[in-house]
A and B are shown apart, each in its own frame.
Chain A
């Protein structure tokens, strides 16, 4: 997988993850182009798209489009399942996830994605393990925050 984009039906980018080095300008151009192309497609159409020398696999969940760019020899169907598994993970974590969850807790969405995919390949197929890792991270974060609160870090925190 070369990159993954999440955008809304209005074309607002909600999440982006790049697994290939590209310049910001290039990224913006690709995003704009893809959002346009995908949004223009009708609901009954194929979930796959040939774009430049890449394949785009996209799927719409409610108002959000999940869009992955894969290479020619990659399996389109399993990519769809990757998207689906990610949605499942988000759903499990947030509890019937909606676009707002991702907008307000975008960092969590990134964390989950990073637990699931590494370098564009599936790293952890077990839903349980991914969520366990996220939970642990949350716990750790809570602990540190408590530490900040309990000590005289409050002043510093304000500054953040």
Chain B
């Protein structure tokens, strides 16, 4: 190390010499070195400030040109920096050069670097944005082998870098140094340092204090480390006996450390004695520090305060406000139910005396803290005192206090304590006291206080027995007409009036108020006034809307507007287009404008190609797409260009089969985009491939099947998922972790769909049946054929009546069919069932558009003379569909059908994707309406169901 220093030192004169005349061509040198000189001389020769400005501006513009010129060498740059610093020092803006200063610090040789760092440290401050650019340079220089560079970097770090950029705050990484620090402290305390370091014959007090602080950080909450330092702390306490300020400084630090580290009773005792010395000292500075030390330790050792209670009481009335304040701080920390009245009294006294805003804010916060924030069991002895104290706090600190304080106070008032009658009394007292306060003439209350008052009066005036609501309104009205009141407070006031209006019998004042404020220039006030006006016209509504004493009860708002579901379903069943959000429509419109419209008209409901019912498959898929996010809409058209479009229309017109494919394709592209979090980039590719393959022919089915079963093997839940677009859904509503969870198989969604009653025209009780065995056999076969994983089989081969499927992979479930509670069960022979199924499958031809997907056979779930219900599954490349078809065998008109799906557990598992199912029956169409947070889902199921109904 020393040789490096030596080398550097020997090199330095040379570096400096370069700048001296004679080190190179004299003319060039002098031109550079004297520029600053001539600038300074020029400035001093000027006679007016105006001339100076002119000169500097000229100088700055020439400098600007020089520094940004590419030909400028670093040496010239160094010279420019010096002049820039000079200009900046004179108060002119040289910010254009900051970045060049950083560059110079980055790139220059030793001397240039030094000037660069100097300029940087003078130009920038710790919150300057360019500082980030310097970080790398500094880090590099800190690691340099050249000591001078390290020093420069350290200097600049200490000068301008903010504390949080210097990561040395966490002490846990330095525990191993404890021993060294202790040794150093021992040596210092033992007087082993040269006398030079003594300060008034105390050895190196600054070093001692620093070491004690370091030990405090290291020993905090760490018994083992703390044990190491007990000895040296004890010694420090003993050695510091001299009656001099600096020894007290050390003692104070020592006591603080002893109370901060893991405690040792012996040391604590000594420290307590030491604190006593401070507190009892006649020197006021020491007394102050004694009080300060007490506030540190009081929580650990409350008895210490008792020992010094007389001193503390004396200090409370000390002429020096600082001592008083520190005493209050101490008292604040020992507040309890017994002493609160006195302590708050003292605090209020101090509060009334102090004028400084910072003190007021601080103290008001503390009083409120004692009174309100610890409301779990407030220490307040009685109502009157509590309200009066709060009144005092609000009147003094109302406009500067933290907004939490009034909020917490109001909440306390509204929520109350355990005792209801007590609460009412508190509120009544508050109302009464505020009314009295408002009666006082010519007193101005802070706005916050007025807001609190207006809320309380609006809410709890009904508790009054003497004053009528009219009187309260009159008072509020008077305030409203007061010019000194802010418009924010006025809205509080008008809200209070609104609350009181339904309780008032006569409403002259309210009408006057309405008249007054409906023409107000303040739009907010005007709006409130109009609201009041309209409510005032409908008293019943007003009473419903503003119930008395219900502030704590949450208003239940049906944000999903479920009460309109019936209306919507009716509209849909009569052929209305489903709602698309505005942004989506916009998006679709945009995307249509951007590219040629390859989108089949069938996708849009308003298309002329489709009159009447909207049932064809394409529409359901179309709506499905439309339910996706806006990006999907965009993607859709993009992907639609790819293939299979031509075949959408044939001689016969629209070919729904193809359309469904394109629909599917369009669903796939967004997946990789949205699911960057997923691990399955390759999977996405596979999917794409798959979707391309899809259009080819029926032969491809096998491949598709293979692919989907592969996905199952991969543990992806995307491949088979009943509940519509599982992928998009999951990405929309869940973060990655949850998706993973799903995959881990935790997610077992249970659809416990129970058809409890299914009544036909004849009102014959519906008799249903499961014959699970049949079902299971069939399914077994199907599944084997489809080589789906065995988990499905296991879970499905349930003997229980509730058919609960646990499909860990697809998180989907099939209906649990009919619950037996409500039905009589009969077991038809298997063959019948099969034949019926066949018939049905013929009749509905398995919904044409889905036929090219792998599907299970149609299975009759239950039947009677009039109706039969059957179901089958369709495996699509990205989801699994359950289709239920209801067939009317009687030829009679089906008037109503009841499908009840118990929502609670059924849908919860899919993170609230479905939260309810609604149904609607119209002519022979059974409309199912799922209300869910997933926009794609309801429409989709609805149309599937409609299709089934029509097909049958």
Binding site for B on A (CB under 8 A): 21, 42, 44-53, 75-78, 80-81, 84-85, 118-119, 122, 125-126, 128-129, 156, 159-160
Contacts and interface: CB of A to CB of B under 8 A. Distances in A.
Contacts, number: 80
B350 to A, nearest CB: 12
Contacts of A125: 197, 199, 204, 206-207
Interface stretch (B47-55, B281-289, B459-467): B281-289
Given A119-B158, A122-B206, A77 B41 contact: no
Contacts of A118: 158
B284 A44 contact: yes
B246 A160 contact: no
Contacts of A122: 206
A81 B358 contact: no
B177 interface: no
Given A81-B249, A156-B41, A49 B199 contact: no
B44 interface: yes
- Mostly helix, strand, loop or mixed at chain B's interface? helix
Contact of A45 (B41, B45, B159, B322): B322
Contacts of A21: 125-127
Interface in B211-252: 245-246, 248-249, 252
B41 A48 contact: no
Contacts of B284: 44-47
B681 interface: no
Interface of B: 37, 40-41, 44-45, 125-127, 158-159, 196-197, 199, 204-207, 209, 245-246, 248-249, 252-253, 284-285, 287-289, 319-320, 322-323, 325, 358-359
Contacts of A45: 284, 319-320, 322
Contact of B205 (A48, A49, A78): A78
Given A75-B252, A160-B44, A49 B197 contact: no
A49 B288 CA distance: 10
9 contacts: A45-B284, A46-B320, A49-B322, A76-B288, A81-B249, A84-B245, A85-B199, A119-B159, A126-B196
A78 B246 CA distance: 6
B882 to A, nearest CB: 65
A29 to B, nearest CB: 13
B322 A75 contact: no
A75 B41 CA distance: 47
B248 A160 contact: no
A77 B196 contact: no
B830 to A, nearest CB: 85
A30 B284 CA distance: 26
A143 to B, nearest CB: 14
Contacts of A128: 196
A75 B37 contact: no
B246 A48 contact: no
A1 to B, nearest CB: 12
B802 to A, nearest CB: 65
Contacts of A48: 285, 288, 322
Given A50-B322, A159-B44, A77 B197 contact: no
**Most interface-central of A75, A126, A159 (chain B CB within 10 A):** A75
A83 B325 CA distance: 25
A78 B250 CA distance: 8
B724 to A, nearest CB: 57
Contacts of B196: 126, 128-129
**Most interface-central of B197, B248, B322, B359 (chain A CB within 10 A):** B322
Nearest to A129: B196
**Most interface-central of B253, B284, B285, B323 (chain A CB within 10 A):** B285
Given A47-B285, A76-B289, A81 B127 contact: no
A44 B158 CA distance: 38
Contacts of A75: 209, 249, 252-253
A148 to B, nearest CB: 12
B158 A81 contact: no
Contacts of B325: 50
Contacts of B209: 75, 78
B41 A160 contact: yes
A5 to B, nearest CB: 18
A85 B126 CA distance: 29
A85 B206 CA distance: 12
A118 B154 CA distance: 12
B358 A53 contact: yes
A79 B527 CA distance: 59
Contacts of A85: 199
B45 A159 contact: yes
9 A-B pairs with the lowest CB-CB distances in the bound complex, closest first: A77-B249, A21-B125, A78-B249, A45-B320, A159-B41, A46-B284, A119-B158, A52-B358, A46-B288
Contacts of A53: 358
Contacts of B159: 119
A129 B127 CA distance: 34
A51 B358 CA distance: 8
Given A78-B205, A81-B205, A126 B246 contact: no
**Most interface-central of A21, A52, A81, A160 (chain B CB within 10 A):** A81
Given A21-B126, A125-B199, 13 more contacts: A45-B284, A46-B287, A75-B249, A76-B285, A77-B249, A77-B252, A77-B285, A78-B206, A78-B249, A81-B245, A81-B249, A85-B199, A160-B41
B115 to A, nearest CB: 19
Nearest to A54: B358
Nearest to B204: A125
